[in-house]
Structure 1
Amino acid sequence: MIADGTGQRSTAWFRSRIGYLTGSKISEIMKAGRKKDEMWSETAKSYLYQVAAERLFNPVFLEDDEVFQDYLDQTSFTSKAMEWGTEQESSAIELYQKMFLKDNDVVPMPSCRHKSIPHFAASPDGGIYEKGGLRIIEVKCPNINTYMKYRLLIHDAASLKETEPKYYWQMMAEMSCTDAKSGTFITYTPWLTKPIHHAEIERVEDDIKLMEERVILANEFIEQIINK
């Protein structure tokens, strides 16, 4: 694991991830195209075109906070629900720690680059250092109907993959980039008498290998775009 040391969602954090394939978007490259011989779906290609463009970002503009913020504003979308979810993450982590952890604390995690695959990084919402190694956590604070869906359906890696594959691949990417031995998926809403649900997500080596292979192929595709 190679950590950049910057706080999540800061300007420096976004800047450090420019041109990288990241955990939160990695699910987009996991599906092939509709035709039998198509390596990438249209969604995947759109994402890879953006990453390719970011690798050509003018360094003068990249280091200019105001100009770079204009780029972030243009390319990112944040709804009120998403903003609310982000605001609730710390409350979710605090409650999880209080209810389920006795001897360990959840520590903040920066953007973590993969130790051998270039341009590949992920940012877990937190980490727990235990005797067996690092366990990462991923927190989601959805609306109440989605929360109840997750509470009913998500209990392990297989059910997370079936119910919300984008979060499954995000957690596999986070484990890959941090060398974590496992992860915990936490979902939270403060309004209910049972406000928190968590599921232990084991590291699935075959899927991590498949994902890493797709990342390597994606990097090759991006280089072809840049150099063509």
Structure 2
Amino acid sequence: MFQNDIFRTFSTCASPLIPPTNPLIHHSLFVLTAHLSPSDAPQRSEEWFALRKDKLTTSTFSTALGLWKGNRRCELWKEKVFASDQSNEASKMRAMEWGVLNEATAIEQYRSITGRDVSPLGFAIHPEERFTWIGASPDGLLGCFPGGGILEVKCPYNKGKPEKASPWSTMPFYYMPQVQGQMEVMDRDWVDLFCWTPNGSTIFRLCREREYWELMHGILREFWWENVIPAREAMLLGREEEAKAYKPASTHKQTGLMIVKSIKLAAEAKLLCREIAGHIEFYRSSSKQCKGVERETREMDIHKSEGLSWADQWDPEPLQPASTDDDKKEGKDGSGKNKSGKKILSLKWMKNLCKKSQKQ
């Protein structure tokens, strides 16, 4: 136990091995896992991709939890089990390229607004032996452990029109698994989620929630050890058909509960500041503090979010209020259909899904 505590204490700040090459970043760092293996590979380098290949990374947590429409959970499973052909939808690739292109600019903007130094990080593996199958690649670390935080940057692609994007007013709930996972991997108690767009930016402060992690970890552990690993072992023995039998369902029995809890935590995320056209407005309110840091925050209404709502993810058409029986015929599960006959999802449907998850 004492040995692991030492690794925890010194795992996120140490002398650099190689001088930083990015002029926007002021500190380099060296991350150690419980096995003392270095993971300071630059993001998106060959070494970085190799380190991520055999881990379940925090950026894929929402997919592994089944929070997305369609077969994305199954696609993630295939990516981890079979040789990946690196094929991605064109729109997804463009969104990723937009984020990569603007990440350095966004980090510099965050530094300019807050005055904080941002330390770069390649890839980190959870330091506890039982969690070494989990990894994270935060966009930066803020301060040294203990008391330091994490920076996660998002550059919304805005459905193919990023130049018209506005910064979020509230945090999109589907990023909650990623940031909570990052805090667990890095053993830090707060994250600044920075939303950057060409038209402005916002910063949200999130605190570590252990109960949320316990629920999430159970689902992720099942996905990894009951779906991915057995399928990999079958593939090593040349039994591809047997491997396919471990393919997971598109959602987990507790997916609904995870969605509801994620929405709740996202609604509680505090907006620290908003920058529009160079004008910066900071917000302050009295509320609970993240461990080790003061919070300058205010409450925001979840319904004013500029990001994609949960319903938007599952149905590309925004939900329209039904004014007549012809406009919407509600089903037993709380869902309905719009004029085009396309199924829409209501708040009642979400609550029913949550109740089913709790019963199971």
Gaps of 5+ in 2: 1-10, 12-32, 157-161, 235-360
Shift of 1:147: 3.2
CA contact (8 A) 2:146 2:188 kept: no
Q: Does 1:169 align with 2:177?
A: yes
Q: Does 1:121 align with 2:135?
A: yes
Partners of 2:48 and 2:112 lie apart in 1 by: 28
Partners of 2:221 and 2:96 lie apart in 1 by: 30
Partners of 1:115 and 1:131 lie apart in 2 by: 14
Q: Identify the residue that residue 147 of structure 1 maps to in structure 2.
A: 166
**TM-score, normalisation: structure 1:** 0.72
More helix by share: 1
Q: Does 1:89 align with 2:103?
A: yes
Q: Identify the residue that residue 74 of structure 2 maps to in structure 1.
A: 45
Shift of 1:145: 5.1
| Fraction of identical pairs, as percent | 24
CA contact (8 A) 1:113 1:119 kept: yes
Q: Does 1:203 align with 2:196?
A: no
Larger Rg: 2
Partners of 2:208 and 2:137 lie apart in 1 by: 16
Partners of 1:217 and 1:13 lie apart in 2 by: 25
Gaps of 5+ in 1: 33-40, 55-70, 155-159
Aligned partner letter, 2:101? E
Shift of 1:17: 0.9
Shift of 1:76: 8.0
Taking only aligned residues, the RMSD between alpha carbons, in angstroms, comes to: 2.7
Instruction: Report the CA distance shift for 1:22/1:72 in structure 2 as closer, same or farther (over 3 A).
Output: farther
Shift of 1:136: 0.7
Question: Which digits, 9 at most, give the CA deviation of each residue in 1:26-78, with x for residues without a partner?
Answer: 1112238xxxxxxxx95323312321236xxxxxxxxxxxxxxxx56446865
For 1:185, which of 186, 190, 193 is the aligned residue?
193
Structure with larger RCO (C-alpha < 8 A, sep 6+): 1
For 2:65, which of 3, 24, 30 is the aligned residue?
30
Instruction: Report the CA distance shift for 1:82/1:220 in structure 2 as closer, same or farther (over 3 A).
Output: closer
- Secondary structure class of the residue paired with 1:197: strand
For 2:123, which of 86, 111, 116 is the aligned residue?
111
